[in-house]
Amino acid sequence: MYGIFSYDIGLPRLGYRHHNAVLDLEVVALLGFFNDLDIDTSVFAQPSLNAFMALGRTVHRQVGQRVRDLLADSEATLLRVHDQVLLPLERVTMHLPVQIGNYTDFYAGIHHAENVGKLFRPNAEPLLPNYRHLPVAYHGRASSIVVSGTPIHRPAGPFLGPDQQPVFGPTQALDLELELGLIIGKANRQGEPVPVAEAEDYIFGVALFNDWSARDIQRWEYQPLGPFLGKNFASSLAAWVVPFDELEPFRTAGPIQEPTLLPYLQSSKPSHFDLNLEVWLQTGDLPPQRISHTNTQHLYWSFAQMIAHHTISGCNLCVGDVLATGTISGTQRDSYGSLLELSWNGARPLTLADSSTRTFLHDGDTITLRGFGQTDGHQLTLGDVSGTIQPNT
């Protein structure tokens, strides 16, 4: 996994995560280990992954292989040369890994969409008519995306009070959303859509993503143009980005998609992934408690379909864009990706280990999203994303 780290007085730069250590790629480059790769090694001294991502998949594979070779060398040639090249995680500060130009949030978790429909439109079909025809998405706020570990200030805003009159105050319905973020590593030209068969080439990698939401603010504001203040105060991105190639062992067919899709969304290749995802809540002196576990297979739409759809209008993706999947929920009550669903909008609050309950998040609560893949002979751990709720003051 790649990330941006700093330590002591050094500037932020690229690191490669190796167990609980960070390989300093700027130093590795300075020591000459990439000299034969014909790349501009200044990309490793940058404060974001963007320049490295823009070098393309071939270079990423070469660098990844070289780094794995170096780390696998039992003689630790590298470490003998320079004892500061592999740094313990606890010594470094992590930064937002990507300079994010644009952020798009999809709604590809079909069970989440169904649950939201059941909660808010109880007398209608849970899924709106367009849901199985196109990957619904909206543009989100890029500027307020923060790196894992950044405190999350409880936002204030307008919402409807008990008497259905607008009131102002700190949100009373602060929620998490369990999502996966696709980090775009390749740009398309405006006016030139990306075919679904080529769409995965545009993904540099993936990172867990928590799209914090203020449900009361969102509910009052969102008609007719979608969420705004209810989402734009903060989203949290993992510090570590997993290169897309590393998802390959976990590729799977995904759900049957009916009715038949328009051709621009049709793909014969298995384009879904089998990654386990978890939500952990920690509060007070209690140990962290897992409150949900689900899987990316519950996404109705594949990553490739999201990209093909996003660009079919001619919209241009840029290196550093984040495309998030939307909330990923399973079919069971303990597999939902938001507190809105886990508590069924307050009808059945969660009970924590100290017998306190949660409908939405309290100040001081820490939410951590975890992810891992496990299949015959392959194991993959995604970088966590966590955030602690700060009071609105």
Look at residues 214, 175, 215 and name the one whose alpha carbon lies nearest to residue 358.
175
Point out which span in 129-137, 201-209, 289-297, 357-365 binds its own copies (CB under 8 A). Answer: 129-137
Interface segment toward its own copies; rule CB under 8 A; list 11-19, 81-89, 150-158, 285-293: 150-158
- Number of chain positions touching its own copies (CB under 8 A): 59
- C-alpha separations of 266 from 269, 274, 292, 359 in Å: 9, 20, 32, 40
Tell the residue number behind the tokens 């997993």, with chain if given.
Answer: 242
Q: Given the complex with its own copies, which of 260 and 355 has the nearer CB atom? A: 260
Q: Is 266 in the site for its own copies (CB under 8 A)?
A: no
Interacting span for its own copies (CB under 8 A) from 14-22, 72-80, 311-319, 349-357: 311-319
**CA-CA-CA-CA dihedral for 47, 48, 51, 56, to nearest 10:** 150
The number of angstroms, rounded, from the C-alpha of 343 to the middle of its chain's C-alpha atoms is 23
136 binds its own copies per the rule CB under 8 A: yes
State the nearest-atom distance from the C-beta of 298 to its own copies, in Å.
19
Our finding on whether 379 is near its own copies (CB under 8 A) is no
* Catalytic (active-site) positions: 112
C-alpha separations of 89 from 21, 23, 239, 301 in Å: 5, 10, 12, 35
Distance CA 104, CA 261 (A): 22
Binding residues: 105, 107, 121, 177, 179, 211, 218, 222, 231, 235, 327
Does position 140 bind its own copies by CB under 8 A?
yes
Q: H/E element holding 289? A: strand 289-295
Q: What angle do CA 360, 346, 159 make, to 5 degrees?
A: 65
* 198: DSSP letter: G
Token pair 């890029």 is at which residue?
142
Asked whether position 321 contacts its own copies by CB under 8 A, the answer is: yes
Q: Among 168, 266, 331, 348, which residue sits at the site for its own copies (rule: CB under 8 A)?
A: 168
- Three-class secondary structure of residue 96 per DSSP: coil
Residue of 107, 204, 273, 280 that binds its own copies (CB under 8 A): 107
The reply on whether position 318 binds its own copies by CB under 8 A is yes
DSSP codes of every residue in 122-139: TTS-SS-TTTTTS--EEE
Check if the beta carbon of residue 268 is closer than 8 Å to that of residue 302.
no
Q: Assess 387 for contact with its own copies (CB under 8 A).
A: no
Q: What is the footprint of its own copies within residues 28-57 (CB under 8 A)?
A: none
Binding-site positions for Mg(2+): 211, 231, 235
Nearer to its own copies, 313 or 379 (CB): 313
Q: Which residues of 81-136 form beta strands (DSSP E)?
A: 86-88, 93-95, 103-106
Calpha distance 335→141 (Å, rounded): 27
Dihedral sign for Cα 311, 326, 219, 157, please.
negative
Determine if 155 is a binding residue for its own copies (CB under 8 A): yes
24 vs 175, which CB is nearer to its own copies? 175
Helix, strand, coil shares of the chain, percent, nearest 5, are 25, 30, 45
Alpha carbon distance 333, 17 (integer Å): 34
- Scan residues 341-360 and list those touching its own copies (CB under 8 A): none
As a whole number of angstroms, the distance between CA 78 and CA 262 comes to 52
Q: Does 312 bind its own copies (CB under 8 A)?
A: yes
- Binding-site residues from annotation for Ca(2+): 105, 177, 179, 211
What amino acid occupies position 309?
H
Q: Is 141 in the site for its own copies (CB under 8 A)?
A: yes
Beta bridge partners of 146: 236
The binding site for substrate consists of 107, 121, 218, 222, 327
Best CA proximity match to 295, nearest among 330, 325, 327, 326: 330
Q: In this chain, which of 12, 97, 109, 157 binds its own copies, going by CB under 8 A?
A: 157
Residues from 198 through 257 that contact its own copies (CB under 8 A): 214, 217, 220-230, 232-234
Select the residue interacting with its own copies from 89, 315, 350, 352 (CB under 8 A): 315
Report the residue number, 64 or 226, with the smaller CB distance to its own copies.
Answer: 226
Task: Name which position in 20, 74, 123, 143 contacts its own copies (CB under 8 A).
Answer: 143
Q: Does 300 bind its own copies (CB under 8 A)?
A: no
Residue numbers of the site for its own copies (CB under 8 A)? Answer: 101-102, 105, 107, 116, 128, 130, 133-134, 136-144, 146, 153, 155-158, 166-168, 190-191, 193, 214, 217, 220-230, 232-234, 262-264, 309-310, 312-318, 321
